[in-house]
């Protein structure tokens, strides 16, 4: 869906792990940014106020290194090269780049050699974050050195006349103490950005665009109660009202009270045109005796699509499918057609049938997760929905190791509810990326009163993460772990032991299945 014209910064991706962080930092300064493949540079436009060449793992002089077309330097648009991007700029403009005798990773102190618009307000001797093994030996014609570090005599360079600037370090990471100031200088001193992009303006323009695109046609949306589908459904509803039908499928694998909460919030409070479909018996019957996690996922996915298709047929004459696809989903799935490795094909982007007749509506595909939450606040969605931790599509099925039964589901739901209650009560819920209980496929001997027991084991998992790609276990205080163990063993019938998972990702995954 096209959004009305606006100023923007375009980031060419060369495979840096920090590329998305550059985009986020720019948007935090109320300037819209977008990431594009290095080998698909944008057509010159009055909306493009600046171009950033990202970092990357390659060396510019190696065979097969990602190289942007030199035509990009024919435009009059300011360009900022970061790390690999700076070396690439120097290389393409007839400077010399070679392997450094001393690689530089981590902290370094930046010292200013002469004033520049790019370093205005930056103090001498502040820490910047380095990550490179190459260096510029000879600057291209017209360039000057602006600052240096102990190991990088050309840590900041510029050709002010042509509007080209380079940084050997990463200003986008928090370790670079004045990195945000440097990015702000590029945006406002050099690119003359106004900084008028807000999520409020995004919502207004998006709603207008949805009205124009959908017209009087019908739309269907699968509403899970998670952040992404919730915000997408409410945004589309604001545009076309009851032309949107949101379908909430209860697969029988939800947390305690979750189905009731979704119906109450979206069917009542948010006044969506909501269809609540209880498919729990259908799906649980298909899962009987199934232990393999991949088979569980496939069965749940297949049955969900069957239920969804059936509901769509009942509604009739639907032309559009609304999805909560986010910007990282798009980036991750296409791998930017560049050097970034494709980690997975996201279900919102790559999992749809090729012959699908419905037209896609993806109103959030330009936004990051934190922006989606902020947009949700603009739309009046309750905080308990917006701050919900990630929950897997297959639900509790992948948190019950082994076969799924009503009894095992009941045990896990009660244990999980206690975990959520205690982490919310103590303020830890909002500090944690994801926390959950797991029912293990083993029983252990215990003693309750004077009796021997042989009951189930509950595993607890809590992790810190930024995007789910890597994660570290949360050091929950012993007092909280003690309360959780005591409550679960005493209140959940069928459990006599609680363990805490202290593995990180990698090598472990966040979910156990």
- Known catalytic residues are 83, 170, 172
Q: Is 308 helix (H, G, I), strand (E, B) or coil?
A: helix
Run of H or E residues at 210:
helix 199-214
Q: Supply 359's token pair.
A: 């037209």
Helix (H, G, I), strand (E, B) or coil at 304: helix
Nearest Cα to Cα of residue 246 among 277, 216, 201, 281: 277
Cα–Cα nearest to 29, from 193, 177, 173: 193
Q: Judge contact between 404 and 296, C-beta under 8 A.
A: yes
Question: Residues 6 or more apart from 389 whose CB is under 8 A from it?
Answer: 429, 432, 433, 434, 435, 436
- If one counts every other C-beta atom within 10 angstroms of the C-beta of residue 194, the result is 12
d(CA 394, CA 304): 10
Rg, the chain, Cα only: 26
Q: Cβ(286)–Cβ(303) under 8 Å? A: yes
The distance in angstroms from the start CA to the end CA of the chain is 36
| CB atoms closer than 10 angstroms to residue 385 | 21
**Rounded-to-integer distance, Cα 15 and Cα 18, Å:** 9
Question: Tokens representing 153?
Answer: 């005599």
* Bridge partners, residue 79, by sequence: 51, 164
Hey, what's the torsion of the CAs at 129, 466, 54, 26, to 10 degrees?
-90
CB-based contact 6:209 (threshold 8 Å): no
Cis amide prior to 432 (ω within 30 degrees): no
CA distances for 50 relative to 26, 186, 190, angstroms = 11, 8, 9
Whole-angstrom distance, CA of residue 284 vs CA of residue 300: 9
Residue 438 CB-half CA count within 13 A: 21
Coil, helix or strand at residue 299: helix
Q: How many CB atoms lie within 10 A of CB 345?
A: 14
Instruction: Choose among 472, 408, 470, 465: nearest CA to 437.
Output: 408
| d(C-alpha 127, C-alpha 123), whole Å | 10
């Amino acid at each position: 869906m096209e959004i009305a014209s606006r100023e923007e910064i375009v980031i060419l991706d060369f495979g840096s792990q920090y590329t998305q962080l550059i985009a986020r930092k720019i948007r935090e300064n109320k300037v819209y940014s977008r990431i594009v493949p290095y080998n698909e540079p944008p057509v010159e436009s009055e909306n493009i106020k600046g171009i950033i060449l990202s970092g990357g793992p390659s060396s510019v002089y190696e065979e097969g290194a990602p190289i942007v077309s030199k035509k990009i330097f024919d435009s009059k648009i300011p360009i900022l090269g970061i790390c690999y991007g700076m070396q690439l700029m120097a290389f393409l403009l007839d400077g010399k780049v070679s392997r450094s005798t001393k690689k530089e990773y981590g902290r370094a102190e930046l010292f200013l050699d002469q004033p520049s618009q790019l370093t205005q307000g930056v103090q001498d001797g502040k820490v910047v974050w380095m990550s490179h093994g190459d260096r510029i030996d000879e600057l291209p014609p017209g360039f000057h050195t602006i600052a240096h570090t102990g190991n990088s005599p050309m840590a900041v360079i510029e050709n002010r006349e042509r509007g080209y600037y380079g940084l050997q370090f990463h200003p986008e990471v928090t370790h670079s103490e004045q990195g945000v100031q440097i990015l702000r200088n590029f945006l406002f001193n050099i690119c003359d950005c106004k900084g008028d992009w807000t999520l409020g303006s995004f919502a207004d323009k998006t709603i207008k665009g949805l009205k124009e695109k959908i017209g009087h046609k019908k739309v269907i949306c699968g509403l899970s109660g998670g952040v992404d589908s919730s915000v997408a459904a409410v945004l589309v509803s604001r545009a076309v009202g009851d032309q949107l039908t949101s379908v909430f499928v209860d697969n029988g694998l939800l947390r305690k009270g979750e189905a009731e909460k979704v119906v109450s919030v979206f069917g009542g409070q948010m006044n969506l045109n909501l269809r609540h479909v209880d498919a729990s018996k259908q799906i649980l019957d298909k899962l009987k005796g199934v232990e393999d996690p991949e088979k569980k996922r496939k069965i749940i996915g297949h049955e969900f699509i069957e239920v969804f298709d059936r509901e769509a047929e009942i509604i009739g004459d639907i032309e559009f499918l609304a999805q909560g696809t986010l910007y990282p989903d798009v980036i991750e799935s296409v791998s930017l057609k560049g050097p970034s490795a494709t980690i997975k094909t996201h279900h919102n982007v790559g999992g749809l049938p090729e012959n699908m007749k419905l037209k896609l509506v993806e109103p959030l595909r330009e936004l990051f997760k934190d922006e989606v939450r902020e947009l949700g606040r603009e739309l009046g969605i309750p905080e308990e929905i917006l701050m919900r931790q990630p929950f897997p599509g297959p639900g509790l099925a992948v948190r019950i190791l082994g076969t799924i039964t009503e009894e095992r589901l009941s045990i896990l739901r009660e244990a999980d509810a206690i975990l959520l209650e205690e982490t919310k009560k103590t303020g830890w819920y909002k500090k944690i990326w994801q926390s959950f209980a797991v029912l293990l496929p083993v029983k252990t001997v215990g003693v309750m009163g004077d009796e021997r027991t042989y009951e189930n084991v509950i595993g607890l998992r809590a992790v810190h993460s930024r995007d789910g790609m890597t994660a570290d276990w949360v050091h929950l205080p012993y007092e909280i772990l003690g309360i959780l163990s005591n409550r679960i063993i005493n209140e959940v019938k069928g459990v006599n032991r609680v363990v805490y998972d202290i593995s990180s990702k990698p090598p472990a995954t966040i979910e156990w299945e």
